[in-house]
Chain A
Amino acid sequence: MSDRSERYEVLLSGSGGQGIILAGVIVAEAGIAHDLKVVQTASYGPESRGGASHSEVILSGTDIDYPAVTKPDFVIALTQEAADKFAHLARPRGNVLLDTTWVEKLPQNIQANMASFPLTEEASNRFGKPLVANIIALGYFAEHNPLLGADELLQAIIRRVPSHYRELNEHAFAYGRELADQA
């Protein structure tokens, strides 16, 4: 999608504590840095710690009226529940990224381009921090979305993560981009 006037919708989903909301905020801030209009919303409720969590980001070159995702261009799902609930919503030519550490049963009949990696496991093995699975996912996202470049996303990540974790996140992000090349 190169037409900036169209909406580009991202749906990030998983469970509370996986950094789903943070990842959404990072995408939104990268969008602002790229002079795009952005809307970011998140699931909100008592379930937000440990329970299902999702975050929506809409990017557009023009004003965004309706502020909820209608037909996501990019779905990231870090748990089985999230995969079951959201993967099939993706647009036919969109993308779905799954974390097979938690998604054991891959969703069937997905028309979007589906990719799956053991993101949390890799985060744990390579970086000693399962928490950076979200940043690996953003590295993958950087290579597969038409609007935001890797530099913009990386800058947004650096602005949002604690400075002593900067290097760790940079590596996780770079690894996510490598995964995209493999796919």
Chain B
Amino acid sequence: MSGTKGRTLLLQGNEACAMGAIYAGCRFFGGYPITPSTEIAEHFARKLPTVGGVFIQMEDEIASISSIIGSSLAGVKAMTATSGPGFSLMQENLGLATVLETPIVIVNIMRSGASTGHPTGTGQGDLMQSRWGTHSDHPVVALAPATAQEMFDLTVKAFNIAEKLRVPVILLPEAVVGHIREAVYIPAEGEMEVIDRERPGSYENFLFFKRDTNGVAHPPDLGAGFRPHYTGLTHDESGFFTAVPDRVNAFTVGLNSKMELHREYLTDYCEETVEDADVLLISFGVTARACAHVTRDLRKRGVKAGCFRPRIVWPFPEERLNRIAQHAHTFIVPELNLGQMRLVVQRVVGPEKRVVGINRVDGAMLTLERMQKEVEEVLA
């Protein structure tokens, strides 16, 4: 990056993602190639060595997530990229990262279908998995980019959230967003905020896992001179195992408190003509771009329609949606799954509101034609 101005390039979403990660300071990538995410690994393999970073192709996805947790524990920002089958394998260690308070970024470029599924098809079936894939109550943040530009911007944001809250952050684009080519503005160094984790110079009574008032614990980097103990077992502020009920309780409640304490920071959505909307189209990713198109068509015909797109899907922007639900009566939720976000919307807006899904699971995008037709049927 030269000069003070950024540059605009035609980039594939996956390339933009890898460039965003490097911009955010990511210097380690451990991954196992899988369609439709492979271009991310390819970009890292070429570029990381030129910026003093390390790229390793691991033997599988369990090793991949393990390697990035290790890197981050040692103080080096790290990322992996995969698709559904690999993301499933990563779930156990995703939980480990949450309890170790280790910032990592996992990119799951969503393909279509369960198990090995349809590798070259696009889908949005991992929405719930990204929230609840690993066991028990745990904090996790997931972002859903809809454009190649957002593949850059939200990757930077993912690292910032990971570092600030010390949580795993998941980037959740559909295959189409990974492969779309659009103009992407790459900001100059310093133009976009990059957050680095807090590194306390000392710890009172060696309480490495003591939470600050924002619910965040700041254990030291391995090798930084402290001697922390890290475990996936329930632990207290010292980092050592505890089975004392009050402390076990504090472990789970405290860990999850950082989501609630950062609710505003974790609210990120785009909306259009929602203020007086009777009908709201809600979706995420590329599917939401089609919603914007349909919404404008409806407005031209005098239908009071609006559209709403969370860019951070977890935590879900409940407060904002709730406000819109004070006047909107019909909610249409198009998704490339069988209705995962529809469930969330119904819960948030309440059982008396009409919530209808438009769903497609054959590996292709929802076409405008089909959406227009189904929206007509809903409004008829």
Contacts and interface: CB of A to CB of B under 8 A. Distances in A.
Contacts of A68: 365, 367
Given A45-B120, A68-B367, A70-B368, A40 B181 contact: yes
Interface stretch (A12-20, A25-33, A143-151): A25-33
A67 B365 CA distance: 10
B293 A65 contact: yes
B289 interface: yes
Contact of A67 (B175, B183, B289, B296): B289
Nearest to B9: A32
A38 B286 contact: no
Given A28-B10, A29-B10, A32-B8, A66 B289 contact: yes
Nearest to A24: B181
Contacts of B179: 41-42, 44
B10 A41 contact: no
Given A32-B8, A65-B293, A66-B290, A25 B120 contact: no
Counting chain B CB atoms within 10 Å of each CB, which of A25, A39, A68 scores highest?
A68
Contacts of A29: 10
Interface residues of B, number: 21
Contacts of B181: 25, 28, 38-41
A67 B286 contact: yes
A101 B369 CA distance: 35
B120 A46 contact: yes
B170 interface: no
Given A66-B290, A68-B367, A40 B10 contact: yes
Interface in B166-207: 175-176, 179-183
Contacts of A65: 289-290, 292-293, 296
A37 interface: yes
Interface string B259-302: 00000000000000000000000000010011011001000000
B306 interface: no
A81 to B, nearest CB: 19
Contacts of B368: 66, 70
A29 B290 CA distance: 24
B36 interface: yes
Interface in A127-153: none
A176 to B, nearest CB: 22
A65 B297 CA distance: 12
Interface in B1-53: 8, 10, 36
Contact of B293 (A32, A41, A66): A66
A98 to B, nearest CB: 25
29 contacts: A25-B10, A29-B10, A32-B8, A32-B10, A32-B183, A37-B182, A38-B10, A38-B181, A38-B182, A38-B183, A39-B180, A39-B181, A40-B10, A40-B180, A40-B182, A41-B179, A44-B36, A44-B120, A44-B175, A44-B179, A45-B120, A46-B120, A65-B292, A66-B292, A66-B368, A67-B289, A68-B365, A70-B368, A70-B369
